[in-house]
């Protein structure tokens, strides 16, 4: 194979050569030039969500889940009550991490193939005034189901409850506008739709609630209030930053803007999705073939041998696998992937249905 495998996963993603090259320079963590890159990234992240007037951007070392845990521990008081709207694996992860850090947590479940229901949330908030915050996964990464962020935000605002949004799989591709949609925190990461490399999460925190977050976190490393205060005072990270990751994200964001920003990124991803659906005639979370010869590990290996990295499913009721349409790829790549899947199925002796 004369190229790296194409990563058709929810992240890490296939990145451009420009993004890869940005990681070839070493940076001092206190260096003024690196601090300028951090400031640029923070500024551009706020601009993507139209949030410069209402929120601050706080980066954090680690994966997206690190940032989710940091957001919950920083925003939800130790005697607070988090209601998690659950329709998938990543919602359940949100509930688990909140419970593990000792926050009172209630799970409001929905079927995995259905979006959460704002009317049901409205009733629950009216019934239980002890709920202080609501946790929402914008796009449930396990299934691709899109949850109604604007409607959920409106319900939370009407009831005066805080909203914590995991926008890991949507930020940069789907529109989010802080001028019209109120949220206390919105979380995403470098290695998703901004097409950077993994290693850094970030949280947009509403200025109106920021001061009240002092001292809430159970963790030194994950205290976003302290992280923000230190960055504002010094321009630096509190602890050793992922310098190469930050530099790559800055370069990826420059390319994001050159491409045309969020609308153009979404248009390309939609075109990728259409090419995938046209070729495979099913949705992005795929039901595994109901055939005795199907085995995901063998299927994965056969696809990888043809240059494509797939991802296992996250549904709990049925066996699936996932195909990501995000990253530095286009329709041509997706068509090549469909052909590779057909070849892999033939190799495994699986029947290929009509396309």
User: What local confidence, expressed as pLDDT, does residue 283 receive?
Assistant: 33
Q: What angle do CA 16, 276, 112 make, to 5 degrees?
A: 105
Separation CA 249–CA 20 (nearest Å): 10
For 316-342, what is each residue's pLDDT tens digit? 556 667 787 889 998 998 889 888 888
* 125-132 contact pairs (CB < 8 A, 24+): 125/83, 125/155, 125/156, 125/159, 125/161, 126/159, 128/81, 128/83, 130/81, 130/104, 131/81, 131/82, 131/83, 131/106, 131/161, 132/76, 132/77, 132/80, 132/81, 132/82, 132/161, 132/162
For the entire predicted model, the pTM comes to 0.89
Topology, domain 17-255:
3.40.640
- Options 3.40.50.2020, 3.90.105.10, 3.90.1150.10, 1.10.3470.10; which CATH number does 6-12+261-347 get? 3.90.1150.10
For 224-273, what is each residue's pLDDT tens digit? 999 999 999 999 999 999 999 999 999 999 999 999 999 999 999 999 98
Separation CA 137–CA 68 (nearest Å): 10
CATH 3.40.640.10 domain span(s) along the chain: 17-255
CATH 3.90.1150.10 domain span(s) along the chain: 6-12+261-347
User: What local confidence, expressed as pLDDT, does residue 282 receive?
Assistant: 43
Contact in structure between 223 and 278 (CB atoms under 8 Å)? no
Tell me the percentage of the chain whose pLDDT exceeds 90: 71
**Centroid of chain to Cα 83:** 20
């Amino acid at each position: 194979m004369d190229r790296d495998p194409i990563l058709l996963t929810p992240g890490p993603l296939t990145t451009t050569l420009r993004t890869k090259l940005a990681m070839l320079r070493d940076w001092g963590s206190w260096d003024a030039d690196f601090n300028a890159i951090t400031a640029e990234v923070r500024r551009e992240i706020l601009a993507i969500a139209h949030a410069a007037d209402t929120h601050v951007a706080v980066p954090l070392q680690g994966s997206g889940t690190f940032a989710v845990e940091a957001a919950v521990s920083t925003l939800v008081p130790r005697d607070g009550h988090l209601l998690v709207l659950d329709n998938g694996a990543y919602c359940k992860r949100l509930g688990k991490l909140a419970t593990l850090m000792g926050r009172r947590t209630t799970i409001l479940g929905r079927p995995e193939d259905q979006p959460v229901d704002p009317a049901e949330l409205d009733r629950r908030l009216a019934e239980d005034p002890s709920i202080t915050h609501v946790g929402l996964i914008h796009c449930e990464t396990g299934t691709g189901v899109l949850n109604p962020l604007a409607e959920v935000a409106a319900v939370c605002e009407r009831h005066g409850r805080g909203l914590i949004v995991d926008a890991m799989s949507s930020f940069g591709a789907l529109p989010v506008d802080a001028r019209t949609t109120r949220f206390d925190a919105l979380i995403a990461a470098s290695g998703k739709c901004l097409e950077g490399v993994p290693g850094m999460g970030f949280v947009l925190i509403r200025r109106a609630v920021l001061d009240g977050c002092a001292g809430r976190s159970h963790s030194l490393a994950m205290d976003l209030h302290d992280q923000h205060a230190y960055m504002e005072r010094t321009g630096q990270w509190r602890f050793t930053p992922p310098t190469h990751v930050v530099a790559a994200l800055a370069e990826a964001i420059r390319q994001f803007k050159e491409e045309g920003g969020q609308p153009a990124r979404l248009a390309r991803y939609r075109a990728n999705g259409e090419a995938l659906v046209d070729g495979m005639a099913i949705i992005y979370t795929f039901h595994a073939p109901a055939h005795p010869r199907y085995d995901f590990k063998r299927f994965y290996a056969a696809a990888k041998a043809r240059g494509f990295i797939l991802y296992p499913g996250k549904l709990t009721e049925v066996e699936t696998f996932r195909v990501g349409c995000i990253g530095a790829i286009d329709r041509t790549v997706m068509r090549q992937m469909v052909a590779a899947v057909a070849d892999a199925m033939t190799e495994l002796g699986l029947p290929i249905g009509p396309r």
